[in-house]
Amino acid sequence: MIEIVAYEPWHATNILERGLNNGAPESTYSFGHVVNDMGVDGQSFTGIQDGVVIACGGILPMWPGVGEGWVLASADVHNNKFATVRICRSILQKIMDDYGYWRIQGATLANWESGVKFARMLGFVNEGMMKRFGPGGEDYLRHARVIDGN
C-alpha cells in the first residue's frame, strides 16, 4: 500500500540520488537545485511504500487560478503504475478544487512516451512543442489540465 505524506525536500533528494524512473530526462538540473522550494503546504505530496520514496509531486502556484505541476518518480513507481495514476489523479483534483485552480500546466520531455502517457492519464492535454526548452536544449511538450469556465 502506498502511504501519502506531506512533501519534504529529502524525498526529492532521495529520488534524485537513487535515479529517476525509466525514460525520465537524464538531466536533473531543473530539480536538483530547487528541491527546497518545491514544497507548498497542502499542495505537495510524497508516496512512500514499505519505507521507500517512490514518487513526489505537487503544484507551484504561478498566480491565482494557475499553477505549474511537477512530479519526480523513482524506478519503483513502475511496480505501482495503476495505483500511482489513480492516487495522482485524485490528489490533483483535490488540489484544484481546494485552491481554486482552473489551469495546471507542466512540461514533459517530448520523446518520453511514458511521461506523455502519464500526463494524458491525469487529464492533461498537449498544447504544443517547446523547442529547446530543456537544460540541455531538449524539446519538451507543454501539457495542461484546464477547467473550462464557459
Specify the pairing of strand 66-73 against strand 52-63. antiparallel
Written as tens digits, the pLDDT of the chain (150 aa) is: 889 999 999 998 888 888 777 767 665 555 666 677 888 899 999 999 999 999 999 999 999 999 999 998 888 887 888 888 899 999 999 999 999 999 999 999 999 898 999 999 999 999 999 999 988 899 999 999 999 875
CA distances from 39 to 79, 80, 98, 139, 142 (A): 25, 23, 17, 26, 22
The CATH number linked to 37 is: 3.40.630.30
Dist. CA 53–CA 57, nearest whole Å = 12
The reported pLDDT for the residue numbered 148 is 86
Q: Specify whether the backbone of 60 is left (phi greater than 0), alpha (psi in -120 to 50) or beta.
A: beta
Q: What are phi and psi of 43, to 5 degrees?
A: -125, 10
Number of domains in the chain: 1
Dist. CA 149–CA 129, nearest whole Å = 25
**What's the sign of the alpha-carbon dihedral 140, 143, 61, 71?**
negative
Dist. CA 146–CA 150, nearest whole Å = 12
**In terms of residue numbers, what domain contains 89?**
3-146
User: What is the pTM (predicted TM-score) of this model?
Assistant: 0.89
